[in-house]
């Protein structure tokens, strides 16, 4: 089944380029194009895409506000947002993750990297390197920010000890392979623990799982001198 992609960018030339690239892949198709954030929200509700490729800076409703609206809509629970922008700063990445985005890429990426990113997000993974995750957590995600928590702290009690352990390691930026090595588990078992933690905490994907782990205090930044609980 094809990965259904909605393009949201105020530059028609870029949208056309992305459409040609994505439609050239047998496993992907573009289902719509939006020139602003509100149009992206409206088209997402109409087409129910798997992925929204979202620019941040657009007229009217920007990409971050549109991302938050899409990710908060229960009817779009299976739609994931991949931010693609020229403004690849840590602060924008953190804001995008808080809004519910599943990944973040700069517009300088190669065509192959963009297509791989779409496939990564569609598979339910987060598109952030372990190093980027650690940097973002330490600088922004643990800082007070307006808006509701993605999950109440008491939801952590639903996790088994092993699920908590795996969630902590994921939040520290470790890959599934690294977690498997550290805990002497198979990668498949790690994935199963991650998936159960996602379900119990109501997280859309791994990116939200990381944010929840820090918001709820399951993990604290290394700079604070505290070790994970």
Q: What is the pLDDT of residues 178-193, one digit of tens each?
A: 899 999 999 899 989 9
Domain containing 51 equals: 3-127
Query: Does any domain span residue 81?
Result: yes
> How far are the Cα atoms of 24, 97, 208 from residue 55, in angstroms, in the given order?
21, 14, 20
Q: Give the total number of structural domains in the chain.
A: 2
Between CA 68 and CA 72, with CA 70 as vertex, the angle to 5 degrees is 65
Query: Does any domain span residue 96?
Result: yes
Q: Of the candidates 50, 53, 54, 79, which has an alpha carbon nearest to the alpha carbon of residue 64?
A: 54
Query: Does any domain span residue 133?
Result: no
For residue 6, the model assigns a pLDDT of 98
Q: Is the same domain home to 45 and 99?
A: yes
Q: Of the candidates 140, 157, 141, 225, which has an alpha carbon nearest to the alpha carbon of residue 197?
A: 157
What does the pLDDT look like over 124-181, one tens digit per residue? 776 665 555 555 655 656 555 555 566 777 888 999 999 999 999 988 778 888 899 9
Q: Is the same domain home to 94 and 170?
A: no
Q: Is the same domain home to 168 and 71?
A: no
Q: Is the same domain home to 105 and 43?
A: yes
Final residue of a structural domain among 127, 153, 170: 127
Q: Indicate which CATH number applies to the domain containing 199.
A: 3.40.50.2300
Q: Is the same domain home to 116 and 158?
A: no
Q: Of the candidates 30, 37, 35, which has an alpha carbon nearest to the alpha carbon of residue 6?
A: 30
């Amino acid at each position: 089944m094809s990965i259904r992609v909605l393009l949201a960018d105020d530059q028609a030339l870029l949208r056309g380029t992305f459409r040609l690239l994505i439609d050239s892949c047998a496993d992907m198709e573009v289902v719509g194009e939006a020139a602003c954030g509100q149009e992206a929200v409206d088209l997402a509700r109409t087409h129910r895409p798997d992925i929204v490729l979202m620019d941040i800076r657009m007229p009217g409703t920007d990409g971050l506000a549109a991302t938050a609206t899409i990710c908060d809509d229960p009817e779009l629970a299976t739609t994931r947002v991949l931010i693609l922008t020229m403004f690849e700063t840590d602060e924008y990445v953190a804001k995008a993750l808080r809004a519910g985005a599943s990944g973040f890429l700069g517009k300088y990426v190669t065509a192959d990297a963009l297509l791989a990113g779409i496939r990564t997000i569609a598979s339910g993974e987060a598109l952030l390197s372990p190093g980027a995750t650690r940097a973002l957590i330490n600088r922004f995600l643990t800082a007070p920010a307006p808006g509701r928590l993605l999950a109440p702290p008491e939801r952590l009690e639903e996790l088994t000890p092993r699920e908590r352990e795996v969630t902590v390691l994921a939040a520290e930026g470790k890959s599934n392979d690294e977690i498997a090595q550290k805990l002497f588990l198979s990668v498949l078992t790690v994935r199963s623990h991650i998936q159960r933690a996602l379900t119990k905490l109501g997280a859309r994907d791994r990116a939200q799982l990381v944010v929840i782990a820090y918001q709820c205090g399951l993990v604290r930044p290394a700079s604070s001198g505290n070790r994970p609980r």
